[in-house]
């Protein structure tokens, strides 16, 4: 099921950029959770387009309508929750043109190859970043369920091109570092318009984005995401490890080209004596002293923060005219991408990363084989 | 199913480091394929331990016994293929000690937390890199099936610490670059003992590994893997894209901490005008001119080489004594990891990366909805 | 995924009897199929309530709104097709009463036990037969795809209580029997209001139903369903055989309590020499001479008609007052089921059986491993 | 995954009648369960051939070798349990003959059609009833886990042709009926060689079987299976109801052609007022007074015994010469089935039915969303 993910908590995404609606079906939500619709909307708004100079001017209300899965008290009733977001701001398009000349960097050509020309071409169809809206509906609900369990998730824009934000303080696990990480997460939860820890870095990033847009170009970035408050023991062996679970979801987000956990690629340059996270007793419990592992070993959580970084490529839609081909004529062609585009999609990918983290972590938690969920019985 | 992966072509891994056997079940193999057992064994031997100074001295014959799935002609018969590898070289171990003091960087602690002390502790149990042996059985068969379809897979050790090999020539797609990539793949297929393109880089890597081992330490590396000969149109949308499929498998390989496709993390620093792969007609067919995308857009192949790099952390087992805890006593403890270990697991991860690529690509291909598999009907 | 079924062609049902909407998501539809919305509506109308004296007076337009999965030509575009049916005719209900006193024969008590009182109680929630409406959307599209492949599906009401219709002529496979089966299927396709082959039997059944309703009671029935035009070789071994696939779906239809294929339970009383379907050459092809097997052996089609019968229990909602309990007070109670009910649900289960057959068969067909789909190459 | 079943507790079967081995992989077993190998062997022996006059003279030791999934204490360790049964008593066969002339009633023809002649023909390959041996390994372990939870499963041979055993006393739920059901289950657990409640009925059945065998023929039967001790609330909506789950498994057992729950097909002839199971308080808890439903409503357990009956067709292998075709010559042919066969497979299907019940019930239980498993909080 290509547009479905999850083991116990599953999410199915449907819709195309210009179909009547996009939406999701979420199966496996524990019953009895009150879905806070205002909080969900606030989360959706962080992803929504048209809110700032760095996003596409296409504006969509992005208000999800939940058509099933709640009981009369607005609480999850144990059966599939379906939500719809109407596509109100679609535009009539020149379908013939779209079908002939694929946009470089988009899935136009590959969708054509896969479905022999029957794909929905308008706006990228099912491959549009618009599908991250229903992913955020599912993720927003997962975040609420995790909050009830004492788990927090936060992400920020770690880099735009070579302008970098302060990284999450999640490799050292001493008291001072824990305090700093909490401060960082609090700051990000504070509703800031541009999702960075260091607001000056954020200004530099926005400047870079504005400049790139002015040149008819786009730019990439890196999103960093952290999850705290998880007990040890979440995740399952081999292909259902927390890393595999997050990875399958993260690479389902349009434009992501790289993913690393904890020290990540830099670990390839370290020695075992540097990269190993040693244990010490802490408040009567075993705890890793450092967190090069990004909060998991063998795909199972250690109790330390789970942390990943994902690389977001520059938006393929650029104002500059580009080389392409005419698939019907079988000739070379030139293409000027029209339409409304983000010069940098990375900022809007920040809440999407949180949604992915929340869904992957909650699914792994629910899939955890029963019995005592404490990890203190050593 | 945590130890199972795949949509149409599925692989289930079973076994623990010191259980009677490890093995795999492969469902969904097309019928009628003659499994070349010699070729399979040659592939297995590339992963097997005990062959060189840079691996663990634990020697295992690693000869898979196929107990089902073949007909009387040795051809796949359409039903599950099961293969076993006996664990002949297990050692009696001090289980109590293993259960008390978790090794930093291994899954000992997390397995204990997850299964409340019922995990198989010996040698890392189901989390042992030994489980990559049956993964290579499945992958080795997938490689044979892909070869019949004109598809090649190759991997090499791109880096050990800061010593780097020549990278695959797979970003440019002009004739000279294609020739060079073929030469690189041919060289790697030539049975060289140490899996690098540039043998001098390989010598420097082996020296670095030897030196690290002498210091009682270990070191990490990067593996790069490429796949050529694929038609456009393989992979499915969103969560079953070729990147998501590879990612779930690659993060199931022990010690992998990062993964990137094509230009990967470096794409975050590029502009759209640099990173987009423009199309031109080539021999009457549309083709991307460059391959920053790593052979796929929207998770669906473009026809260009699929390329990934994965970061392998330094082996957590090191000879140096390390801090840990005594889980039963609830006290701090010191641990000297005994046993036989690779000072660098990255070289042996090279065929495993090929196995992962082959399984992910073949599964995506088989899952491709029927109808004409050509992509020339535009 | 409890409310999802299928391997390659998957259907997810969502909604509750009185939620804003019910609907389905269908993944895995081959691209390029033109969905005939009029034909789909005609199929939906056969299931819809409020059309005849033998159904519930609750009237719902039951017009599905397809919100994704089609391209601009109205053809499937390869990505998930989602359809919604608004619940327009819901009634405000006394939720407290519904939650206290479970209706015998309905899932009220079991849903309460499973979800600890958080289930949606109104109208049976997710367990309502209303969920067969979106199942018929998915099934109606599957029927169209099968028709393109030369496959026909038909069902009829084989029995109401002890009043029986003429059975499908599908056990003998001689020319006369084939002609008769075609005539039977043609007659049923002729838009008759009451789905029987023998209209006089139908009149007797309707009389029986009317009489039962007059007595404040309900009655059960049997639905028989046949599928012709399938090639041999569809279905997969063991748990994905065509029988297992149909069975999982059929027992997902509310009120079904029994299922048999071909000669079914009667085969238990036969001898092998009677029950075996011998082969003879027919028009140059091997063909079974009889069809006790119901069109499959080992779960794989033989080319003969696939045939099943399913037992439908009497509607549990009856006008007579019944014994129950008050779950909150912990006391015995009496219950009079209010609301609008079918005195016999079996007639409306007829198109649902066709939907189930179509979805199971098409999914099995699409899951069929590639290569030449002909079965004449012996 | 055709040869795999289950949601949380999954079973994969592999092997062919004459491959080196048959076996299973069981994923999702809760950790910490001590597998009683003697008890497992005793269960296996009930299915094993060659023990009595009514079975095939092919004798196989059928001793499973568990190669993974246990820790050093013989307890489940949370990771996949794999078991092998060697095929020691295979015979060299005339493969060419087997491939040419399909046996009526077996899957020879359909496997040929599906895999284009690449199937393993010997002894029915993967479709052989021999595959029920590893199913019984998995089921035997599930039975042990259920026993720890206070759940019992029993099956008996309800009919051979028209000779019937006393049925389970599971429709009435008063004290006397409960006592009688317990007596019936105790009697069956008493190790009797022929699995019936009424031993005189058993004698008549064996006589009937012997007589049929003497005539070179075979005969069918019915197996009835019951499960007691389950709490209310097990099973999931729509397609993962306990009935759908059991059904998919039961129709995976060779020769099964019908399945019914509780009153089953007979319910089609009843009125709602007869078939509804009314509730009364019993010992302070709500409980159904009768059990026409077979222990579930909406696919979710009520707390009453889950009961199913399955129809087993007469063994297709009979000594009499039969009509068939020569698939290679394209001509009619005659076939005398050689080899060793059960004249009635139903007796050996009795433990298989228990295995199927146990696996389906335990999987549904483990898949039950977390939170308080009691159902007394009304």
Residue boundaries of the structural domains of chain C? 4-367
- Smallest Cα distance from A92 to chain B, Å: 23
Q: What whole-number percentage of chain C has pLDDT above 70? A: 93
Whether residues C70 and A114 touch (CB distance < 8 A) is answered with no
Q: Which of C71, C115, C119 is nearest residue A120 as measured by Cβ atoms?
A: C71
**pLDDT for D55:** 63
Average pLDDT over residues B286-310: 96
Whether residues B78 and C369 touch (CB distance < 8 A) is answered with yes
Largest CA distance in chain D: 72
Q: Residue C324's pLDDT band (boundaries 50, 70, 90)?
A: very high
Q: Is C31 on the interface with A (CB under 8 A)?
A: yes
Question: What are the residues facing D23 on neighbouring strands?
Answer: D14, D84
C-alpha C271 chain-centroid distance: 31
Radius of gyration over every alpha carbon of chain D, rounded to an integer in angstroms: 21
**pLDDT for C352:** 98
CA dist A266 and B155 (Å) reads: 20
3-class DSSP assignment, residue C92? coil
CB-based contacts of C240: which residues, under 8 Å, 6+ apart?
C7, C299, C364, C367, D1, D2, D3
**pLDDT for A214:** 94
Q: Which of C12, C28, C119 is nearest residue A80 as measured by Cβ atoms?
A: C12
More confident residue, C158 or B51: C158
Return phi, psi of residue B322, to 5°: -130, 160
**pLDDT for C51:** 58
How do residues C100-149 score in pLDDT, each as one tens digit? 999 999 999 999 999 989 999 998 999 999 999 999 999 999 999 999 99
**pLDDT for D98:** 85
CA dist D91 and D321 (Å) reads: 22
Q: What whole-number percentage of chain C has pLDDT above 90? A: 83
Q: What whole-number percentage of chain B has pLDDT above 90? A: 84
**Torsion sign, CA atoms D327, D329, D331, D333:** negative
Region of residue B364 (phi > 0: left; psi between -120 and 50: alpha; otherwise: beta): alpha
Q: Residue C369's pLDDT band (boundaries 50, 70, 90)?
A: low
3-class DSSP assignment, residue C326? strand
Whether residues A28 and D369 touch (CB distance < 8 A) is answered with yes
- Residue B325 to residues A234, B99, B113, C246, C307, Cα–Cα distance (Å): 20, 11, 14, 55, 64
Mutation for testing the D interface, residue in C159, C272, C290 having most D CBs under 10 Å: C272
Whether residues C369 and B79 touch (CB distance < 8 A) is answered with no
**pLDDT for D203:** 97
Which chain A positions have a beta carbon within 8 Å of C119's beta carbon? 31, 71, 77-79
**pLDDT for C336:** 86
Whether residues C4 and D239 touch (CB distance < 8 A) is answered with yes
Q: Residue A371: is its pLDDT beyond 50?
A: no
**pLDDT for A55:** 62
DSSP A183-244: HHHHHHTT--SS--SSHHHHHHHHHHHHHHHHTT--B-EEEEEEEE-PPTT-S-SGGGSHHH
Q: Residue C191's pLDDT band (boundaries 50, 70, 90)?
A: confident
Q: CA of D96: which chain B residue's CA is closest?
A: B72
Contact D287, D229 (CB under 8 A): no
Which chain C positions have a beta carbon within 8 Å of A22's beta carbon? 68
In whole numbers, what is the pLDDT of chain B averaged over residues?
A: 92
Mutation for testing the B interface, residue in D5, D7, D9, D14 having most B CBs under 10 Å: D14
Mutation for testing the B interface, residue in A110, A296, A345, A355 having most B CBs under 10 Å: A110
Which chain A positions have a beta carbon within 8 Å of B268's beta carbon? 159, 161, 220-222, 257-258, 311-313, 346
Q: Is B99 on the interface with D (CB under 8 A)?
A: no
Q: Is D346 on the interface with C (CB under 8 A)?
A: yes
Contact D275, D367 (CB under 8 A): no
CB atoms within 10 A of CB C166: 15
CA dist C338 and A264 (Å) reads: 62
Whether residues D1 and B68 touch (CB distance < 8 A) is answered with no
Touching chains, A (3+ CB pairs < 8 A): B, C, D
Helices (H), chain D: 37-47, 95-100, 108-115, 132-148, 175-188, 199-214, 242-250, 272-275, 346-367
Burial of D243 (0-12, 13-18, 19+ CB in 10 A): buried
Interior CA angle at D18 toward D12 and D21, to 5°? 45
B58: nearest Cα among B153, B128, B135: B128
B292: nearest Cα among A257, A49, A278: A257
Q: Which of D243, D258, D297 is nearest residue C260 as measured by Cβ atoms?
A: D258
**Worst-scoring range by mean pLDDT, A370-374, B320-324, C351-355, D3-7?**
A370-374
Which chain D positions have a beta carbon within 8 Å of C332's beta carbon? 280-281
Instruction: Give the pair of three-digit tokens for residue B173.
Output: 């797609």
Which chain B positions have a beta carbon within 8 Å of C370's beta carbon? 30, 366, 370
- Residue B195 to residues B181, B229, C363, Cα–Cα distance (Å): 15, 22, 44
**pLDDT for A89:** 72
Average pLDDT over residues C81-102: 85
**pLDDT for A375:** 42
Q: Residue B191's pLDDT band (boundaries 50, 70, 90)?
A: confident
Region of residue D235 (phi > 0: left; psi between -120 and 50: alpha; otherwise: beta): left
Mutation for testing the D interface, residue in C126, C238, C254 having most D CBs under 10 Å: C238
**pLDDT for D376:** 36
Residue with tokens 């007609």: B281
Q: Which of B2, B69, B75 is nearest residue D14 as measured by Cβ atoms?
A: B69
CATH second-level architecture of C4-367? 4-Layer Sandwich (3.60)
CA dist A302 and D265 (Å) reads: 54
CA dist D304 and B168 (Å) reads: 65
**pLDDT for D96:** 80
**pLDDT for A372:** 39
Q: Is A76 on the interface with C (CB under 8 A)?
A: yes
**pLDDT for B375:** 43
| Highest-pLDDT range among A186-195, A253-262, B58-67 | A253-262
Radius of gyration over every alpha carbon of chain C, rounded to an integer in angstroms: 21
**pLDDT for C289:** 95
**pLDDT for A91:** 66
Q: Residue A376: is its pLDDT beyond 60?
A: no
The strand ranges marked E within chain C are 4-5, 10-15, 21-27, 65-68, 81-86, 152-160, 163-164, 221-228, 256-261, 279-282, 285-288, 296-297, 300-301, 306-312, 322-326, 331-335
pTM, entire model: 0.96
Mutation for testing the D interface, residue in B79, B108, B121, B133 having most D CBs under 10 Å: B79
Touching chains, B (3+ CB pairs < 8 A): A, C, D
Instruction: Give the pair of three-digit tokens for residue B51.
Output: 């062959």
Q: Is A318 on the interface with B (CB under 8 A)?
A: yes
Interior CA angle at A359 toward A358 and A362, to 5°? 80
- Smallest Cα distance from A240 to chain C, Å: 16
Q: Residue B128: is its pLDDT beyond 90?
A: yes
Q: Which residues of chain D have pLDDT under 50?
A: 370-378
- Smallest Cα distance from A297 to chain C, Å: 28
Whether residues C76 and A10 touch (CB distance < 8 A) is answered with no
Specify the DSSP class assigned to residue A9. S
Q: Residue B368's pLDDT band (boundaries 50, 70, 90)?
A: confident
D367: nearest Cα among D245, D269, D273, D261: D245
- Residue D91 to residues D41, D246, D321, D338, Cα–Cα distance (Å): 25, 34, 22, 12
CB atoms within 10 A of CB D184: 21
Whether residues D371 and A30 touch (CB distance < 8 A) is answered with yes
More confident residue, A283 or A156: A156
Please give the ipTM for the structure prediction: 0.96
**pLDDT for B98:** 85
DSSP B356-373: HHHHHHHHHHHHS-SS--
- Smallest Cα distance from D185 to chain A, Å: 30
C61: nearest Cα among C15, C22, C26: C22
* Helix, strand, coil percentages for chain D (3-state, nearest 5): 35, 25, 45
How do residues B62-97 score in pLDDT, each as one tens digit? 899 999 999 999 999 999 999 999 998 766 677 788
A299-316 as b/e: b if 16+ CB within 10 A: bbbbbbbbbbbbbbbbbb
Q: Is A77 on the interface with C (CB under 8 A)?
A: yes
HSE-CB of C271 using CA atoms within 13 angstroms? 16
Whether residues D267 and C314 touch (CB distance < 8 A) is answered with yes
Q: Residue B261: is its pLDDT beyond 80?
A: yes
- Smallest Cα distance from B19 to chain A, Å: 16
Whether residues D118 and B19 touch (CB distance < 8 A) is answered with no
Interior CA angle at A37 toward A33 and D369, to 5°? 20
Query: Of all helices (H) and strands (E), which one includes residue B259?
Result: strand B256-261
How do residues B146-181 score in pLDDT, each as one tens digit? 999 999 999 999 999 999 999 999 999 999 999 999
How do residues B3-60 score in pLDDT, each as one tens digit? 999 999 999 999 999 999 999 999 999 999 999 999 999 999 998 765 565 566 556 6
Return phi, psi of residue C236, to 5°: -130, 165
In whole numbers, what is the pLDDT of chain C averaged over residues?
A: 92
**pLDDT for D247:** 98
- Angle between the N-to-C axes of helices B37-47 and B132-148, in degrees from 0 to 180, rounded to the nearest 10: 130
Contact A357, A153 (CB under 8 A): yes
Q: Residue A49: is its pLDDT beyond 70?
A: no
Which chain B positions have a beta carbon within 8 Å of D65's beta carbon? 20
């Amino acid at each position: 099921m290509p547009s479905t993910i999850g083991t116990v908590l599953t999410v199915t995404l449907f819709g195309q950029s210009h179909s009547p609606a996009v939406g999701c079906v979420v199966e496996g939500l524990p019953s009895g959770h009150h879905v806070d619709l205002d909080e969900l909307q606030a989360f959706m708004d962080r992803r929504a387009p048209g809110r700032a100079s760095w996003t596409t001017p296409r504006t969509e209300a992005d208000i999800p309508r939940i058509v099933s899965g709640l009981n009369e008290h607005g609480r999850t009733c144990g059966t599939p929750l379906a939500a719809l977001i109407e596509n109100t701001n679609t535009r009539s398009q020149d379908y013939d043109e779209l079908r002939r000349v694929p946009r470089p960097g988009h899935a136009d050509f590959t969708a054509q190859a896969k479905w022999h020309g029957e794909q929905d071409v308008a706006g990228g169809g099912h491959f549009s970043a618009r599908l991250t809206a229903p992913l955020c509906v599912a993720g927003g609900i997962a975040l609420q369920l995790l909050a009830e369990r004492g788990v927090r998730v936060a992400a920020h824009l770690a880099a735009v091109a070579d302008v970098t934000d302060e990284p999450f303080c999640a490799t050292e696990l001493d008291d001072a570092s824990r305090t700093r990480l909490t401060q960082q997460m609090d700051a990000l939860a504070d509703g800031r318009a541009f999702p960075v820890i260091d607001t000056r870095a954020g200004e530099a990033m926005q400047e870079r984005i504005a400049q790139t847009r002015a040149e008819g170009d786009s730019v990439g970035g890196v999103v960093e995401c952290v999850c705290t408050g998880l007990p040890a023991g979440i995740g399952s062996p081999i292909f259902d490890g927390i890393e595999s679970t997050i990875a399958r979801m993260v690479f389902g987000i349009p434009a992501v080209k790289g993913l690393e956990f904890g020290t990540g690629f830099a670990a390839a340059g370290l020695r075992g004596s540097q990269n190993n996270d040693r244990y010490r007793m802490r408040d009567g419990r075993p705890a890793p002293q450092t967190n090069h592992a990004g909060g998991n070993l063998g795909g199972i959580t250690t109790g330390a923060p789970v942390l990943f970084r994902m690389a977001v490529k520059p938006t393929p839609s650029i104002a500059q005219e580009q080389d392409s081909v005419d698939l019907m004529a079988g000739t070379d062609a030139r293409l000027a991408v029209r339409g409304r585009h983000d010069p940098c999609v990375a900022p809007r990918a920040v809440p999407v990363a949180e949604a992915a983290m929340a869904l992957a972590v909650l699914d792994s938690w629910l899939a955890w084989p029963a019995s005592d969920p404490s990890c203190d019985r050593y």
